[in-house]
A and B are shown apart, each in its own frame.
Chain A
Amino acid sequence: MPVLLDPTSERVPATRTLNPRPASLDGLTVGLLDISKARGDVLLDRLETRLVADGVTVRRYTKPTFAKPAPVDLRHEIAVQCEVVIEALAD
């Protein structure tokens, strides 16, 4: 996994800012991220049913554990495959 050193003054966060919230989901791909907490899948299953019924493309993702940040590879995968992500945060 490549690790680079930040060449900047480090006065701004290394992570990038959130995209603006879209006005509509038409034509967008929505990622559903299960953080592996109990019953998160129940919520996301229902959301997937509703979104698919509306004609939205849905992709499912799962964090290995809710106790740690999402692996950088998973974050990158979601970032390049989806325009919107919905995360099931709590049980």
Chain B
Amino acid sequence: MLPDGWVVVLKRDCPTCTLVEPVLHQLAAAGELTVYSQDDPGFPAGLPVVDDRELETSWRLKVDTVPTLLRVEDGTEVARTVGWLRSSWEELTGVTGLGPDLPDHRPGCGSRSVEWGVEQELDRRYGERVLTSRTVELADLEDEHEAAYARGWTDGLPVVPPTEARVLAMLTGTSRAPDEVVAVVPPDLVPCTVEKIAVNAVLAGCLPEHLPVVLAAVEAACTDAFNVHGVLATTMPATPVVVVNGPIAKAVGMNSGMNALGQGNRANATIGRALQLVVRNVGGGRPGEVDRGTQGQPGKYTACFAEDEDGSPFDPLSVSRGVEGSALTLFAGCGWWPVVDQLSRTPESLARSLATGLRGVGHPKLAIVFDALLVLSPEHGRVFREAGWDRARLLAELDGLLTVPGAELSRGVDGIAEGMPPGFEAVPLPKFRPGGLLIAHAGGAAGLFSTIVPGWVSGAGGSEPTTVPIGA
């Protein structure tokens, strides 16, 4: 319950608060004044000061600027002004001639109660508990990183301990309610809330602004079309590869340039990892259990990058798949291999080079079974741009180059037992089904190499590449 009269919240560390010290003495002489101090109950000297170093009152009053001046009647705030503006203070208090030696106006300073990290801790301490996750209490001498390992929460690398304050901070990255169910996560088919995803995003090392991308990735992964259950459970080295498009990629600091498919960028690394940890921790998908990968691949830690749209010869991958704005595409990828071509300067020659690599996806003698994601580098992309080729032109060229008589792919041909089963000998066979070859653009300015990400079993019997918008 606030005391009636005038209430001022301040901190000595704020120059505007020290500036108004003579005004506070004027008010104390003219009426009932109570001062709450966020940092030094000895300031201002000679006035009744309430110690609010714990910031509970500041938090309850939702003070974001100091000094804050309130008028309180019957325990209820009826007027408020922040900073120092003589006319406002005089109007609120009804006292004239305040601070005659002071300038007319000075802006205030940030309240200690809204400092980053502090606000979330105060929410946790004084607010109603909005989180419903089970709490796990550790001993004082228990190492929190080892505790996470011991409970099976990690992918083998250390995780950020998911404290309540960190999870509350993570949840500020989305406007969605913590208890909203985002997806039903395989293999255990667990309804997964925004909160649980936020806990795992903390584990992964995400910042709050990364959370909307993680939410969209979980949503896309758990669709019937993408089939993350199959991607997880297969013996093949499949993993969800996340390609991010639209303004959010730059806004959250993703890398689409040099080493975009590699290490070193926090957003790329942690967004992809958060998706993996959700499947592991919430869905119960762990290696050696439902994850039956024969050899696996490093992309099962994280596989996420942004498309370089500015330098691309083509429309963004997401737009080509019918989604405008910020969006992501999930592709079930089985590895990463480069196609080196440092000599082709015509689109025809370069397309032939790329086709030699693409033919090997899965196996050179298997057609239509696997999709692929081709990540063109800027120097390869330039060849197509300068020749005026768009996405459709390149796809048509590759389709022509990759369609061969079925008889060439039959089992046993070329002394290789692997190949297409009987029945396809008389028909031309394209390597990829319609829409089965995706093209994105990423990488640094130098390097005449592109990357092929071979896919897993395609289509309704396997995984469909899945593009979804990224919300707030």
Binding site for B on A (CB under 8 A): 1-11, 14, 16, 72-73, 75-77, 80
Contact = CB atoms under 8 A, between A and B. Distances in A.
Given A4-B147, A7-B162, A14 B136 contact: yes
A76 B162 contact: no
A2 B192 CA distance: 25
A8 B282 contact: yes
Interface residues of B, number: 34
A75 B277 CA distance: 29
B162 to A, nearest CB: 5
Interface string B186-207: 0010101000100110010000
Interface stretch (B95-103, B138-146, B310-318, B333-341): B138-146
Contacts of A1: 137-140
Nearest to B198: A5
Interface string B140-181: 111010011011010000000111100100000000000000
Contacts of A2: 137-138, 140, 142, 144, 161, 163
Contacts of B138: 1-4, 72, 76
Given A11-B190, A76-B142, A5 B167 contact: yes
Contacts of B203: 7
Interface of B: 131, 133-142, 144, 147-148, 150-151, 153, 161-164, 167, 188, 190, 192, 196, 199-200, 203, 277, 281-284
Given A2-B142, A3-B164, A8-B284, 8 more contacts: A1-B138, A4-B163, A5-B136, A5-B162, A6-B136, A8-B281, A76-B141, A77-B141
A41 to B, nearest CB: 25
A73 B190 CA distance: 33
B134 A5 contact: yes
Contacts of B148: 4
B141 A5 contact: no
Given A8-B281, A9-B284, A76-B142, A3 B137 contact: yes
Most buried by B among A4, A7, A10, A16: A7
A58 to B, nearest CB: 21
B163 to A, nearest CB: 6
Contacts of A16: 150-151
A9 B161 CA distance: 17
Contacts of A76: 138-139, 141-142
A6 B140 contact: no
Taking chain B's interface residues, is the majority helix, strand, or loop, or is none over half, making it mixed? mixed
Nearest to A13: B134
Nearest to A1: B140
B137 to A, nearest CB: 5
A9 B142 contact: no
Contacts of B162: 4-5, 7
B134 A75 contact: no
A4 B203 CA distance: 11
Contact of B133 (A5, A72, A77, A80): A5
B140 A4 contact: no
Contact of B137 (A11, A72, A77, A80): A72
18 contacts: A1-B138, A2-B163, A3-B163, A5-B133, A5-B134, A5-B162, A5-B163, A5-B167, A5-B199, A6-B136, A7-B162, A7-B196, A7-B277, A8-B284, A9-B282, A11-B190, A73-B141, A76-B139
Contacts of B134: 5-6, 10, 14
Given A11-B190, A73-B140, A73-B141, A3 B282 contact: no
Most buried by B among A2, A6, A8: A8
A75 B148 CA distance: 17
A46 B112 CA distance: 59
Nearest to B144: A2
Contacts of A72: 137-139
Nearest to B131: A5
A19 B89 CA distance: 69
A51 to B, nearest CB: 26
A82 to B, nearest CB: 14
Query: Which 3 pairs, one residue from A and one from B, show the smallest C-beta to C-beta distance?
Result: A76-B139, A5-B133, A6-B134
A71 B196 CA distance: 27
A67 B15 CA distance: 54
A90 to B, nearest CB: 26
A75 B141 CA distance: 11
Contacts of B277: 7
